[in-house]
Structure 1
Amino acid sequence: MAARTVPPFRADHVGSLLRPPRLLRAREEHAKGGTSAEQLREVEDEAIRDVVRMQEDVGLRSATDGEFRRTSWHMDFIYQLGGVRRTDEKLAVHFYNEDGELEFESAALRVHDRISLRETIFADAFRFLQSTVTSVTPKLTVPSPSMVHYRGGRAAIDSEVYPDLEPFWHDLSAAYAEQVRRLAEQGCSYLQFDDTSLAYLNDPRQRGMVAEQGGNAEHQHERYIKQINAALAGRPESMTVTTHMCRGNFRSSWAAEGGYDFVAEALFSQLDVDGFFLEYDDARSGGFEPLRFVPKGKMVVLGLVTTKRGALEDKDDLKRRIEEAARYVDIDQLCISPQCGFSSTVEGNNLTYDQQVAKLRLLVETAAEVWG
């Protein structure tokens, strides 16, 4: 076994990081009209420089911009697709945590025209990240194409624009394929598709919701796999693509539960990505048995360290869990990471900056002791 020189790395992380207080204040002031877009950009730039230095200092081999320019991990991207607009309707998502339950509301989306890519989304953000890193691989995260469909289903897609859904799926994957092509031209060598739907569909409650929307709950994951593969079909060999699949992450809460069993065979054997970031921080995530479907040559990044609580995990416990996973997939195909981002939405999870750094450093130290 050896350290990896290409992504995903033995110690990696999902993408989002806690926003510093000065950035949160600048966003609030900008929303109220007290700070210009240029002034907000300056604060974002400074915060990103700092957080990239932190990632390099703790020993990570890749770095993101923490998603500091976004309000949420997915909607800032999706609303920039041609043919998609924000609506006045509020989309409610039910979340759970150790203390009870809470509701998350966001603006819904409407597919009102043919899906297209008007301009390369997050191009400027990635260009700045490229200019900021000094010793690590810059990583960009974007929502999977599945996320354009999962929240609203057929009802969110104008039936006059797409009376049949096949052209919708074609246009969606084509827009994503063009986005991937342009990012590769820009020098992006590490891209991640974030996809909660593929993990949500393991939860019978979520499949029930899909059925209520008129979807095919038993086979929707297969449709999503097909569309992701179409989006990635033309990517160059120089680009590593991973996918991250968690069960919701909002203010230390989750939306779904259950192991990866329902989607595992199709997911691991058919999805054309180089690695899978999987949520494995507690019993809610199920066991490692589904990893038996992972073929040779694919990497699995075990999300063993939680971002939902500040308490630091025990290194020996992490090593034992790696050994457990290695019963089902070769240990040389394994890496470790947090189970999700630290701040999938601008609010962030319930832990401190120092606790976040300690968890990232723990991952680096553990990976070095396990893999060298």
Structure 2
Amino acid sequence: MTPTFTVRSRPPFRAEHVGSLIRPATLYQMRKDNCKCSPSELKAIEDESVKAVVRLQEEVGLRTVTDGEQRRGMFFEGVFDKLEGMITISNRPISTFKPYIPHIAIMYAQGIQESETIFCNGKIKRTKPFYVEEFKYLKSITAPENVKYLKVTMCPPTWFHQRHGSDLTYDTSVYRNDDAYFNDLAIAYRQEIDELYRLGCRHIQFDDPTLAYFCDETMIVGMENAGVNHEALLDTYIRAHNLVAHGRPDDMTFSVHMCRGNYRGFSFSQGGYERISHKVFNSLDVDVLYLEYDNERAGDFSPLKYLPLNKIAVLGLVTTKNPKLETVEELKARVNQAVGVLVEGSPKRSREVALNQLCISPQCGFASTWEGNPITEEDQRKKLEVLVEAAKQIWPAEMH
């Protein structure tokens, strides 16, 4: 039976952004030059970069604000590398990475023989925070009345599991199976989220390519050829997310960005959400789904017909992959198309209800890695301004 969830918290603001933002010039150059500065010097540079990107978000009219992931080299840093029971392996053989995973397939094609990864060799425990200090700083430069609008982004509990599978992710003498592994991992995530909540955080977003990868027909075929039950694995990943969500406060928004990969403007997978939409949209215990819809690789809006009445879909209509600027009229037309699908969906709903279930955003972050995508800071600003202006015209009563 498909579980049902009640509406737990407010919807996001109508113009959203996914999380990561281009690193300002000083921080970018420091990373490019592999600067050997002291930790205090690095923190000072990152602090100024966070201030700059917060100012950008406020100036263009975004209400939901992040720190732009300025302190991370890659979007997933800061979670698995801080957990007890996890070790970093700098040169793990490529044969231990599943070749059917889209971005791993590229590594195989390039002839890469080994890569850095993380392996679970002991019982998982959260002995130090993931992003608590980062949130404290972000809170310190935010007006008290706006702290509730701050958003923390983090990688999903499934991130390293998918690349190594159920046989090579953890020491089987420590964890007998996936359920045991994800049970302990969820405890660690919940402890982090509980601490963030006590500090005032009210929105957690999981940036999750692992779910969207199940839309890619090439991966599905590869899994079947390898004897992997992809439907069972998708169920396992939904369960992993739901374990993290279990018991969260009613005023804590959980969202998932189903990403197709984002590396210097390049994505790794393709395929519309149709393959997974009925199961994921209804079974995943989150309030908000960030969906990528910036090009033909993402498919059409038809999967939205499965969106339940108690969830919000944020349509990623503005691309972060290139500087081509969308227009307000284009965004308004696409939202209208999505409304038409929702109206005829299951269950059917009025246009007013359908429109109330939608928001708009860029399809992904502008810089999931520190190098950023092939656009400038000015391109980034213009795209966010168009996004906000479109939202003002689509939802005028809410944007003033």
Tell me the TM-score normalized by structure 2.
Answer: 0.85
- Which residue of 40, 52, 55 maps to 2:54? 52
CA deviation string 1:77-132 (max 9, x = no partner)? 22112211210225688669xxxx98999521111111221122111001111111
SS of the counterpart of 1:256?
coil
Segment of structure 1 superposing worse, 124-133 or 205-214: 205-214
1:355 matched to 2:367: no
Task: Report the Cα offset of residue 212 of structure 1.
Answer: 6.2
Cα distance, 1:131–1:6 mapped onto 2, change above 3 Å? farther
Hey, what's the Cα distance between the residues in 1 that align with 2:340 and 2:290?
18
Structure 1: tracts of 5 or more residues without a match: none
Cα distance, 1:214–1:147 mapped onto 2, change above 3 Å? farther
Hey, what's the Cα distance between the residues in 1 that align with 2:273 and 2:228?
20
CA deviation string 1:235-269 (max 9, x = no partner)? 11121111101110001101100000111111111
1:342 matched to 2:362: no
Hey, what's the Cα distance between the residues in 2 that align with 1:8 and 1:163?
39
- Which residue of 41, 44, 50 maps to 2:43? 41
Q: Comparing both structures, which one devotes a greater share of its residues to strand?
A: 1
- Which residue of 118, 121, 128 maps to 1:119? 128
- Which residue of 129, 137, 149 maps to 1:128? 137
Segment of structure 1 superposing worse, 144-153 or 254-263: 144-153
Contact 2:157/2:182 (8 A) holds in 1: no
- Which residue of 247, 252, 259 maps to 1:234? 247
> 2:15: which partner in 1?
11
Hey, what's the Cα distance between the residues in 2 that align with 1:179 and 1:15?
19
Letter in 2 for 1:347: E
Structure 2: tracts of 5 or more residues without a match: 1-8, 343-353
Letter in 1 for 2:280: L
Contact 1:95/1:253 (8 A) holds in 2: no
CA RMSD of aligned residues (A): 2.2
Mapping 1:182-197, distance limit 5 Å: 182-197=195-210
Cα distance, 1:313–1:32 mapped onto 2, change above 3 Å? closer
Segment of structure 1 superposing worse, 319-328 or 18-27: 18-27
Contact 1:139/1:189 (8 A) holds in 2: yes
Task: Report the Cα offset of residue 18 of structure 1.
Answer: 0.6
Taking only the aligned residue pairs, the percentage that are identical comes to 39
CA deviation string 1:290-335 (max 9, x = no partner)? 1111111210000000000011012111111101111222111000
Segment of structure 1 superposing worse, 155-164 or 12-21: 155-164
Contact 1:94/1:103 (8 A) holds in 2: no
Letter in 1 for 2:373: N
Letter in 2 for 1:356: Q
Letter in 1 for 2:153: T
Hey, what's the Cα distance between the residues in 1 that align with 2:270 and 2:232?
19
Hey, what's the Cα distance between the residues in 2 that align with 1:313 and 1:172?
40
SS of the counterpart of 1:348?
coil
CA deviation string 1:14-55 (max 9, x = no partner)? 0000111210233355x453x101000000001111110110
> 2:73: which partner in 1?
71
Letter in 2 for 1:216: N
